[in-house]
A and B are shown apart, each in its own frame.
Chain A
Amino acid sequence: MFRRIIHAKWPGFTIALFIILLLLPPLVPRFFIYILGLIYVTSLLAMSLNLVVGHGGMFQFHHAVFYGVGAYTIALLLTKTSWPMWVGFIAGPILAALVGLLIGWFCVRLTRLYFGMLQISLGSLIWAIVFRWYKFTGGDDGIHGVPMPGFLSSLNSSYYFILIILAGSLILLYLILKSPFGSTLQAIRDNPQRCEAVGINVKRHQLRAIVVATFFAGIAGVLFVVLERSVFPDLLFWVLSLEIFIMCLLGGWFTFAGPILGAAITVALRIFVGKYTEYWTLILGIILILLIFFLPEGVMGYFVGAFKTRTKKVAERGNP
C-alpha cells in the first residue's frame, strides 16, 4: 500500500508543494489564506465528483446535494444540539454518504441521461425541502454564525485543518483509484456490457462508487462550514452541481489531479475577476466555450497528453 503512494507520479513535487502550502499562512495576507482554503474545499468537492464522472463514467448531475447535506448536517448539529462537537464532524460525511446510498440506489437502475435526470429530480426534492423549511433549516436565509471548537477559532488554524484533511482525502482517493475496485470502475466506464459479461456486478460497483464519492463530498461540505461558518440553500442548487462538473472538464476528466486545477482556476477567476467586474460568469462562459472548441480534454489532460507524446518520441529516438 505504501509502495503505491511512493510510486505515485512526481512524489517529490507533491510533497514539496504540500510543505510550501503548510508554511504559507504567516507569510501571505489573510485574504489569500481564505482563497486558498476555498480552493481546497472546492477541489475536494470536484475530486469526489470526478471519481464517479471521470473515472466511473456516470452522469452524476446533482453532486452538490451531498455537499450541501454534509454542510447542513454539521451546521444543524452545532447550532441546534448540545452534543459534543466532534459528532457533527463525523455525522456530516456519514449522512451525506447515506443520502448518496439512497439516491444512488434509485439512480443506478437507469443509464446515462436518465440516470442524471432522476438524480436531478431527487436532488431538487431535497433542495426544495431545505429551501422551504424555515423552522428547521432557516429556509433561503440559511444558518449563519455556526460555532466552532476552540482549535479552529482562527483562520490560520482552519486553514491547517482543511489542508491536512484535504491531503488525507486525496491520498485515500488515490489509493481507491489504484485499487482493484478503481480499475473495475474504469473498466465499467469504458465497456459496461463486457464487464457484465465477465461477471462483474456493474450496478453494485457503481453504487459503491457513488457512496464513496458522496462521503468525500460530505467531508467537503463540513470543511466549507469550517471555513465560512454558514450554510445556505445555494449549496444544494443544481447550478453549483454544473459548476463542479465544469471544474472537472476544465482540469481534465481522465486525469487524477485535473479537477484540483479546474477548481483552482474557477475559484481564482471568480474572486480576482470579480474584484474588477461583477460580470465574472461572462468571462467564465467565454473561457469555457474556447475550451470546448480548442481543448476538449481539459488543461491538465492537454499537458498530460503532450507530455506522453513527447516521452514517446524521445523513447522512439532512443531505440531506432
Chain B
Amino acid sequence: MGFLPTFGPAELLSQLIVGLSRAMILFVVCAGLSFVLGVLRVPNIAHGSLYMIGAFATYSFSKSLTGSAGFWLALLLAPLVVALISLVAERALFRHLYQREHLMLLLFTFALALILGDLVKIFWGAEYRSVAAPDLLKGSISMLGSSFPRYNLFLIFIGLLVAIALWLFVNKTKIGKISRAAAVDRDMVGLLGINVSWVFAGAFVIGCCLAGLGGALVAPTVSITLGMDHTLIIEAFLIVTIGGLGNMWGALVGSLIFGVTQSLGVLFFPQFAIVFPYAAVVIVLLLRPKGLLKSVW
C-alpha cells in the first residue's frame, strides 16, 4: 500500500474526534430541519440562513457581553433571536402556504433565504468574524497518548444532549405527541379540538431554534461569514434525505456519515476531502433511495 500516506492510530483517533464533533453540529441543525420536514412537510431552505443568523448573533452577544459569561449567554440568546425571527416568518408568510405543492414551498423558502442573507449583510456586513471559545473550553485534554481539543469534546457532549432532549420531547411530552399526530393527519388532529395552526407554529419555531443553536455552537470553530448558509443547507438536505425524511435518528446517522467520511478523507486525500461525503451520499441513495431509516413522508 505504498500510495497511502502513513498515519498512526493517534492521528486516526484525533481525526475521528474532529469528524464526530463536526457531525454533532450537523446533527443539531439537521434535527431541526428534519423535524420541520416531518411535521410541516416544508423543505425549508431558509434553515441555513437561520443557522448563519445564529452564528452572527453569537458573535454580537459574546462581543457585547465580555467576560467568561459572554459565550454562555450567547449560546442561550442566539437561538432565541432565531426563534423570534422564525415565529414572525411563520405567522406572516408560511402559514398561508402549507397547502401548496412542495416545489412552490421550496422556491418560497429559497426566496426567504435570499432575503435573510441580504438582511445579514445589512446588519453585520461582509467581513469575516470570529468568536473565541470560553476559557473553560480552550486548550486540549491529553488522553490515550494523544490530545483532544476540549471544544470538540464539548460539541460531542452537547450533540448527545440534544438527541436525548429531542427524543424525550417528541415521545414523552404532550406537545411532542400532538405534533407527531399532526404530521400524520392534520385534519384529524384539528377535529379533536386542537389548534393545529399553533401546533405547526410551535414545531416550526422549535426546528428553527435548533438551526440557531447549531449556528451558535459552530461559531468558535469557523470564521463566520456570508455564504456559510449556502454550504451548510445543501449538506443538511442531503443528510436528511439519506437518513429518511422527517426521521430524527436518521438525521443523526446521516450526520455521522457526512462528518466522519470527510474527516477521515483528510487522512487519505487532503485536497479532495470534501468529495468523500458527497460520494457517500450517492452510494446510500443508490442502495436505499428512501433513506437508511424509515421516512415519515
**Chain A 256-282: CB-based contact to B (< 8 A → 1; otherwise 0):** 000000000000000000000011011
* CB < 8 Å neighbour of A288 from B111, B245, B271, B279: B111
13 A-B contacts (beta carbon < 8 Å): A109-B286, A113-B43, A113-B241, A121-B285, A132-B271, A133-B271, A133-B272, A282-B115, A285-B111, A288-B108, A292-B100, A292-B104, A296-B104
Q: Tell me how far the C-beta of B147 lies from the nearest C-beta in chain A, rounded to whole angstroms.
A: 29
The reply to whether B241 and A117 form a contact with Cβ atoms under 8 Å apart is: yes
Is A224's beta carbon under 8 Å from chain B?
Answer: no
Max chain A Cβ within 10 angstroms of own Cβ: one of B108, B112, B115, B290:
B115
Whether A124 pairs with B234 at a CB distance below 8 angstroms is yes
B100 CB contacts on chain A under 8 angstroms = 292, 296
With known contacts A128-B272, A281-B117, A246–B112 Cβ distance under 8 A: no
| Choice from A129, A279, A288 contacting B107 with Cβ under 8 Å | A288
Q: Which residues of B contact A129 (CB under 8 A)?
A: 272, 275
Q: Which residues of B contact A (CB under 8 A)?
A: 43, 45, 93, 96-97, 100, 102-104, 107-108, 110-115, 117-119, 121-122, 230, 234, 237-238, 241, 245, 271-272, 274-275, 278-279, 281-282, 285-286, 289-290
- Cross-chain contact B119 with A282 (CB below 8 angstroms): yes
For residue B291, give the distance in angstroms from its CB to the closest CB of chain A. 9
A318 to chain B, nearest CB (A): 37
Min C-beta distance of A182 to chain B, whole Å: 21
Which A residues touch B118, using CB under 8 A?
279, 281-282, 285
Q: Is A18 among interface residues, defined by CB-CB distance under 8 A?
A: no
Q: State in angstroms the CA–CA spacing of A106 and B96 once bound together.
A: 36
Chain A residues with Cβ below 8 Å from B271 are 132-134
Q: Report chain B residues within 8 Å CB of A239.
A: 230
Docked pose: A286 CA to B117 CA in angstroms: 12
Query: CB distance B278 to A125 under 8 Å?
Result: yes
B290 & A120 in contact (Cβ 8 Å cutoff):
no
Most chain A C-beta atoms within 10 Å of own C-beta, residue among B93, B114, B278, B290: B114
Closest to B241 in A: A117
In contact, A106 and B107 (Cβ under 8 angstroms) = no
Contact flags (1/0) for A289-312 with B, using CB distance below 8 Å?
100110010000000000000000
Give residues 108-141 of A contacting B (CB, 8 Å).
Answer: 109-110, 113-114, 117-118, 120-122, 124-125, 128-129, 131-134
Question: Which of B93, B111, B290 interacts with A114 by CB under 8 Å?
Answer: B290
Bound together, the chains give a CA A85 to CA B285 distance in angstroms of: 40
Chain A residue at smallest Cβ distance from B104: A292
A67 within 8 Å of B (CB atoms): no
Task: Using known A-B contacts A59-B103, A281-B117, determine if residue A128 contacts B278 with beta carbons closer than 8 Å.
Answer: yes
Interface of A is mostly: helix
Q: Which residues of B contact A109 (CB under 8 A)?
A: 286, 289
Measured CB to CB, the nearest residue on chain A to B108 is A292
Q: Which residues from chain B contact A133 at a C-beta distance below 8 Å?
A: 271-272
What chain A residues lie within 8 Å of B96 (beta carbons)?
A: 293
CA distance A295 to B37 in the complex (A): 25
B237:A120 contact, CB within 8 angstroms: yes
Are B111 and A125 neighbours in the complex by a CB distance under 8 Å? no
Closest to A123 in B: B278
Give min CB distance, B267 to chain A, whole Å. Answer: 16
Please tell me if the beta carbons of A286 and B115 are within 8 angstroms of each other in the complex: yes
For residue B115, which residues in chain A have a CB less than 8 angstroms away from its CB?
Answer: 281-282, 285-286, 289
Known A-B contacts A113-B102, A117-B238, A282-B119; the reply to A292 vs B107 at CB < 8 A is yes
Give 15 A-B pairs besides A118-B289, A124-B278, A282-B115 with Cβ atoms closer than 8 angstroms: A113-B102, A117-B241, A121-B281, A125-B275, A129-B275, A132-B272, A238-B234, A239-B230, A245-B107, A246-B111, A279-B122, A285-B112, A289-B108, A289-B115, A292-B111
Contact B285 A118 (CB under 8 A): yes
Chain A interface bracket (under 10, 10 to 19, 20 to 34, 35 or more): 35 or more
Given contacts A124-B234, A124-B278, contact A114 B289 (CB under 8 A): yes
A296 to B108, CA, bound (A): 11
How many Å lie between the Cα of A80 and that of B197 in the bound state?
A: 60
A152 to chain B, nearest CB (A): 33
A279 to B111: give the CA distance in the assembly, Å: 13
Which of chain A's residues has its CB closest to B110's CB? A242
Closest CB-CB distance, A95 to chain B, in whole Å?
20
Tell me the nearest residue of chain B to A289, going by C-beta: B111
Q: Which residues of B have CB within 8 Å of A285?
A: 111-115, 118
Q: How distant is the Cα of A280 from the Cα of B119 in the complex, in angstroms?
A: 11
Partner of B112, one of A114, A289, A293, A296: A289
Q: What B residues does A293 contact at CB under 8 A?
A: 96
B278/A117 in contact, CB under 8 A: no
Give, as a whole number of angstroms, the nearest-CB distance from A287 to chain B.
8
Least distance between A289 CB and chain B CB atoms (Å): 5
A284 within 8 A of B: yes
Query: Which residue of chain A has the shortest Cβ distance to B45 in the bound complex?
Result: A242
Asked if A120 meets B238 with Cβ closer than 8 Å, knowing A125-B275, A125-B278, the reply is: yes
Chain A residues near B122: list those with CB within 8 A. 279
Cα distance, A114 to B121, chains bound together (Å): 33
Does A249 belong to the interface (CB within 8 Å)? Answer: yes
Q: How far is the CB of B206 from chain A (nearest CB, A)?
A: 23
B286 partner residues in chain A, CB cutoff 8 A: 106, 109, 118
Asked whether A289 lies within 8 Å of B281 as measured between CB atoms, the reply is: no
On whether the beta carbons of B285 and A110 are closer than 8 Å, the reply is yes
